[in-house]
Chain A
Amino acid sequence: GAVVSQHPSWVICKSGTSVKIECRSLDFQATTMFWYRQFPKQSLMLMATSNEGSKATYEQGVEKDKFLINHASLTLSTLTVTSAHPEDSSFYICSPRWIYGYTFGSGTRLTVV
């Protein structure tokens, strides 16, 4: 149980374009979804928390207009990086929370050129 699918695993985009990252919980319903950002050799930094059908709550310093989170159902959440710039290049990880604890997607490596 607790299988998470995160896509794409790797994406390159041009500066100024938008990129959507999808996170699906395949065999369970996620009560809460967390999105993290991780730079090489560093820890996971929480970007935002979302509950199904509600607006996401963003951590201090995270631009909500740049990082759009949609949590339309208990099994699907998306993170859209809008007007991406090279400084947005990073590793993004989704983390659906279910009744038994926390799970993690396999991550998305975003490179903005």
Chain B
Amino acid sequence: AQTVTQSQPEMSVQEAETVTLSCTYDTSESDYYLFWYKQPPSRQMILVIRQEAYKQQNATENRFSVNFQKAAKSFSLKISDSQLGDAAMYFCAYTGANSKLTFGKGITLSVRP
């Protein structure tokens, strides 16, 4: 079975600084997708970024980028120029052949003004 591990429960970053959220996963599949989701206090799940495993190039979305290390099964999220609105819970997630999303435990990110 696939597993997703987010070992840091909380992180804090100064506004305008850069922060990296860690995620590792375990799978025997070769074709899969990885995601980072943001869940603000409203609890609405918001897709931040998506990475296809077959793509070597790291995905980027404006201030958000990932460092995808397939061999190491690592998928970290970098948030540049952190903003107060980035404060939320962030989940790393995996999906493969069965189309189910497997989520990590999540990390609570706080942004200091």
Interface residues of A (CB under 8 A from B): 32, 34, 38, 41-44, 46, 49, 91, 93, 95, 97, 101-102, 104, 106-107
Instruction: Contact check, A104 vs B45: say whether CB atoms are below 8 A apart.
Output: yes
Q: State the main secondary structure of chain A at its contact with B.
A: strand
Residue of A with least CB distance to B106: A43
Residues of B within 8 A of A101 (CB): 47, 50
Other-chain contact of B101, A38, A42, A102, A107 (Cβ < 8 Å): A102
Instruction: Contact check, A106 vs B44: say whether CB atoms are below 8 A apart.
Output: yes
Tell me the complex Cα distance, A106–B41, Å.
11
Known: A44-B103, A97-B99, A102-B101; 11 extra A-B contacts, CB below 8 A, are A32-B99, A34-B101, A41-B108, A43-B103, A43-B106, A44-B91, A95-B45, A102-B35, A106-B42, A106-B43, A107-B44
Number of inter-chain CB pairs below 8 Å: 40
Residue of A with least CB distance to B9: A41
Taking residues whose C-beta sits less than 8 angstroms from the other chain, chain B's interface range is 10 to 19
Interface residues of B (CB under 8 A from A): 35, 42-45, 47, 50, 89, 91, 95, 99-101, 103-106, 108
Other-chain contact of A34, B42, B89, B100, B106 (Cβ < 8 Å): B100
In order of increasing CB-CB distance, the 10 nearest A-B pairs are A104-B45, A43-B103, A43-B105, A44-B103, A107-B43, A43-B106, A106-B44, A46-B100, A102-B101, A43-B91
